[in-house]
């Protein structure tokens, strides 16, 4: 099948590469010339384990191509995927200007019946808007072509995106016509070999499914973070509570890890957009608003713990920060808890020496220049260098390399043997044996 993927961001690139890997002929299109030139050389704009190999191999085979010219890609194309960004607008709703622009371009370029797939996370009703825009463009050309707009939200986790795409738990397809449903079923057949993973529904249901899934996961996290905070004041270890409730199959073990708050490009944005949608429909988003509120509060919890222990004025204090990315396995720092923490510590006068195994270049590019120039935020070369003369170590992202550190060496490098563990990675008893004072989330030693 001949596919065109528009948008070579995270979703578009993974989608294009994985379809090519499974035998489709794929052209990825982007208006960013520099990005496309780099991709043509096999240079990727993002870090995602396994992606580079798949991109390079499929380019070499000729199954994956990159271009800025949609008109070339569109010739005889059967399926267009819209995978451009939907950033939050000022009122929290998803900004659809890029989706609409791409829809218009497709209408200007398509040459035959085509399925147009919304892959971006878009609010209920977007497919109808896309159809209108495409139809307008066709009318302007004076051409009568049939097309269907399909919703096929992605469920990729950064850091595990290739695996998620190639071996999905489920494939959600919202299609309002038999013809489009059949084409989508054929397209995804190689991903559904062992069992039928496709769940077919109508377009609006599929659009909502994506938001509901992310909001549910965010709800589990915020709920657990709130439980953790209660536990802490009662002398209860939330880690035991987590294991205890996770064993109930109705609750399950996943997404109930308390921490420093959820980040990334999806949960914060999608919860916000769903709150807006809910309000627009006249439904009070009581649960969703609480989920968002708890998360905003949770991102401040580490700084509050530090101030409660070392004082609200942190001038002259130095902190080692382990982890900048919003989660392990990615260099993505969007909405990361680390940013709120650094902001709070710098505002209280502290010096922060940070290290992340993958996100250092990203940090140098994206963190506010004022922080880096003030030389109160230092980017360390390795995790142990970050500890030198620090008054405490703070763990924010649970990278594997931080899981079993050399506690003895840590103790020698730190000025004070204090650990603030924002992801409950360490055993309080074990670190106490090395002479550390330990502060976790929902568990105080």
Chain contacts with ligand UGA (rule: CB under 6 A): 121, 154-158, 214, 217, 221, 255-257, 259, 262-264, 266-267, 326-327
Q: Which is nearer to ligand UGA, 221 or 273 (CB)?
A: 221
CB of 47 to ligand UGA, least distance (A): 13
Instruction: Say whether 299 counts as a known binding-site residue.
Output: no
CB of 369 to ligand UGA, least distance (A): 25
Active site residue 266: yes
Instruction: Say whether 211 counts as a known binding-site residue.
Output: no
Q: Which is nearer to ligand UGA, 148 or 335 (CB)?
A: 335
Q: Which is nearer to ligand UGA, 262 or 436 (CB)?
A: 262
Q: What is the 3-state secondary structure (H, E, C) of the chain?
A: CEEEEECCCHHHHHHHHHHHHCCCEEEEECCCHHHHHHHHCCCCCCCCCCHHHHHHHHHHHCCEEEECCHHHHHCCCCEEEECCCCCECCCCCECCHHHHHHHHHHHHHCCCCEEEEECCCCCCCHHHHHHHHHHHHHHHHCCCCCEEEEECCCCCCCCCHHHHHHCCCCEEEECCCHHHHHHHHHHHHHHCCCCCCEEEECHHHHHHHHHHHHHHHHHHHHHHHHHHHHHHHHCCCHHHHHHHHHCCCCCCCCCCCCCCCCCCCCHHHHHHHHHHHHHHHCCCCHHHHHHHHHHHHHCCHHHHHHHHHHCCCCCCCEEEEECCCCCCCCCCCCCCHHHHHHHHHHHCCCEEEEECCCCHHHHHHHCCHHHHHCCCEEECCCCCHHHCCCCEEEECCCCHHHHCCCHHHHHHHCCCCEEEECCCCCCHHHHHHCCCEEECCCCEC
Q: Which is nearer to ligand UGA, 255 or 407 (CB)?
A: 255
Catalytic residue, candidates 18, 77, 109, 266: 266
CB of 214 to ligand UGA, least distance (A): 5
Instruction: Say whether 86 counts as a known binding-site residue.
Output: yes
Instruction: Say whether 334 counts as a known binding-site residue.
Output: yes
Q: Which is nearer to ligand UGA, 47 or 267 (CB)?
A: 267
Numbered residues of the known binding site for NAD(+): 30, 35, 86, 121, 158, 269, 334
Residues involved in catalysis: 266
User: Which residues contribute to the annotated binding site for substrate?
Assistant: 155-158, 210, 255-259, 263, 327
């Amino acid at each position: 099948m001949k596919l065109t993927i528009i948008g070579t961001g995270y979703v578009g690139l993974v989608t294009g590469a994985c379809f090519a890997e499974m035998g489709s002929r794929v052209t990825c299109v982007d208006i960013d010339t520099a990005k496309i030139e780099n991709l043509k050389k096999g240079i990727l704009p993002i870090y995602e384990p396994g992606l580079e190999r798949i991109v390079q191999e499929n380019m070499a085979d000729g199954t994956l191509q990159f271009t800025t010219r949609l008109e070339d890609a569109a010739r005889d194309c059967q399926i267009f995927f819209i995978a451009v960004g939907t950033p939050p607008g000022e009122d929290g709703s998803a900004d659809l200007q890029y989706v609409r622009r791409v829809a218009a371009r497709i209408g200007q370029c398509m040459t035959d019946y085509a399925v147009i797939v919304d892959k971006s996370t878009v609010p209920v009703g977007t497919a109808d808007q896309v159809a209108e825009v495409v139809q307008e463009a066709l009318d302007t050309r004076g051409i009568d072509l049939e097309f269907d707009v399909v919703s096929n939200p992605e469920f990729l986790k950064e850091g595990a995106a290739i695996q998620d795409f190639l071996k999905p738990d489920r494939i959600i397809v919202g299609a309002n016509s038999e013809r489009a449903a059949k084409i989508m079923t054929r397209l995804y057949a190689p991903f559904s070999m062992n069992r039928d993973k496709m769940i077919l529904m109508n377009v609006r249901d599929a659009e909502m499914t994506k938001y509901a899934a992310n909001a549910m996961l965010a709800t589990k996290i915020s709920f657990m973070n709130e439980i953790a905070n209660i536990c802490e004041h009662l002398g209860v270890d939330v880690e035991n509570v987590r294991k205890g409730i996770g064993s109930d199959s109705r609750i399950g073990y996943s997404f109930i890890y308390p921490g420093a708050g959820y980040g990334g490009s999806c949960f914060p944005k999608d919860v916000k957009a769903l709150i807006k949608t809910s309000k627009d429909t006249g439904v009070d988003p009581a649960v969703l608003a609480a989920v968002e509120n708890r998360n905003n509060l949770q991102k401040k919890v580490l700084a509050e713990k530090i101030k409660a222990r070392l004082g609200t004025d942190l001038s002259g204090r130095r902190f080692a920060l382990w982890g900048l990315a919003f989660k392990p396995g990615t260099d993505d720092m969007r909405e990361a808890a680390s940013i709120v923490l650094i902001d709070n510590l710098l505002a209280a006068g502290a010096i922060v020496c940070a290290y992340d195994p993958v996100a250092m270049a990203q940090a140098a590019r994206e963190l506010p220049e004022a922080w880096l120039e003030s030389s109160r935020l230092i980017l360390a070369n390795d995790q142990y260098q970050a500890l030198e003369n620090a008054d405490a170590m703070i763990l924010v992202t649970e990278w594997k390399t931080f899981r079993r550190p050399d506690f003895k060496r840590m103790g020698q490098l730190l000025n004070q043997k204090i650990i603030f563990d924002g992801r409950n990675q360490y055993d309080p008893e074990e670190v106490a044996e090395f002479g550390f004072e330990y502060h976790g989330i929902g568990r105080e030693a």
